[in-house]
Amino acid sequence: MVEFEVIHPDSELGKKFGFTKKKFSGYLSLQDGTIWISAITSLNPGKHNLTHLFDSILKAGYDLKVPQPFPKMESIIQKKGFVRTREHWEQVGEDIDVWVKHA
């Protein structure tokens, strides 16, 4: 099993994406060229920070995955062209919905 690297706001990689403490709380995860977004909150809703985050991650060549999103996030990522898939997630031992967008 490949481990996840945690990306915190204001970390070197986080700053590269615009993932800063002024804009977000939570963390991102990096695994095999994919950024997983599962535990973040925008601190300034409506300012398009999430869109800019997605765009900068994709532009840097990383795929994006959002596992089991809450309804508000699911609505956002559907509009952004993410595609729903099913993946077996070893951490929880079951298949889950994972929304994906490739770089």
Total Cβ atoms within 10 A of residue 67:
18
Report how many domains make up the chain.
1
The pLDDT value given to residue 91: 74
- Read off the CATH number of the domain in which 51 is found: 3.40.630
Report the SS3 class of residue 30. strand
The pLDDT value given to residue 3: 82
Distance CA 16, CA 21 (A): 13
Q: CB-based contacts of 76: which residues, under 8 Å, 6+ apart?
A: 50
The pLDDT value given to residue 1: 54
CA torsion angle for 79, 9, 70, 33 (degrees, to 10)? 60
pLDDT along the chain (103 residues), means of 10: 86 97 97 94 94 97 96 94 93 91 97
Domain boundaries, position 80:
5-101
